Structure 1
Amino acid sequence: MSVRRVVPNIRSEATEESREFYGLLGFEEVMNQGWIVTFASPTVPTAQVSVMTGDMTAPVTPDLSVEVDDVDAAYAEVRASGAEIVHPLQDEEWGVRRFFVRDPNGRVVNVLSHR
């Protein structure tokens, strides 16, 4: 299993202000689902920041997202470790398969693969 990207998720209602601020740093909006907006560097597309009002299908807002090449393998490994699964592995309507796990620092990590 390999990591494709890591994205910090900022819980906020200030999406327009965030768009303007991250634009000052050279980021461009690359995704807007209404409840989550992702900004990326046009020269390094995996350098990203997301701003979320809340998660659409999960009970909590994740602190960061980790995209892996095989989310099923990651899920099996995390479950075997005994880590707390916060949101079960499932396919989402916006084209990802994901689960949430709590890390040793209490942070919620969204682990995902694009379908």
Structure 2
Amino acid sequence: MSIRRVVTNIPVGTSEEAGADAAVLRANADFYGLLGFEEVMNHGWIMTLASPTHPAAQVSIMTADLTGPVAPDVSVEVEDVDAVHAAVVRSGAEVVYGPQDEEWGVRRFFVRDPNGRVINVLTHR
């Protein structure tokens, strides 16, 4: 199985105020910009920032997960999500969500690791 990238998902709280998610995401983009990260994706609920010189070096800021039951702690992009899902199921690990084809162009599932952390395993379609 081939891993393409690993991205930490930083959960951020927001208030119920209009525009709060956008303000929180912008504040994080500004802060991580100081470290050299640039925005490469923003869906309004998750924003991914990447190194311009090493594009696989990424961090995501997440207010909530749009379709999943929980916000995952880490995202792992793999070459074949269905093969990884089959291996996870055979292992007896707890699948928390999916597999699911998402409208933003990924197929993914969530699995709980031995420490209770939720891992988002995905492949771009």
Please give the TM-score of this superposition, normalised by the length of structure 2. 0.90
Of 41, 50, 56, which aligns to 1:31? 41
Structure 2 counterpart of 1:114, one-letter code: H
Give the structure 1 partner of residue 87 of structure 2.
77
Structure 1 segments, 4+ long, off by >2 Å, are: none
Q: Distance in 2 between matches of 1:87 and 1:75?
A: 11
Which residues of 2 match residues 48-67 of structure 1 at below 5 A? 48-67=58-77
* Secondary structure at 2:87 match in 1: helix
Partner of 2:121: 111
Paired positions, count? 115
Hey, what does 1:11 align to over in structure 2? 11
- Gap regions ≥5 residues in structure 2: 15-23
Pick one of 87, 90, 95 that aligns with 2:100.
90
How much has 1:16 moved relative to structure 2? 1.5
The offset of 1:17, in angstroms, is: 1.4
What is the percentage of aligned positions where both structures have the same residue? 70
Q: What is the CA distance between 1:88 and its match in structure 2?
A: 1.4
User: What is the deviation of 1:55?
Assistant: 0.2
Give unmatched runs, 5+ long, in structure 1.
none
Which whole-Å CA distance do the structure 1 matches of 2:58 and 2:103 have between them?
22
Note the C-alpha offset of 1:90: 0.9
- Find the residue that maps to 1:109 and give its secondary structure: strand
CA RMSD of aligned residues (A): 0.6
- TM-superposed CA distance for 1:37, in Å, is 0.3
User: Shift of the alpha carbon at 1:66?
Assistant: 0.1
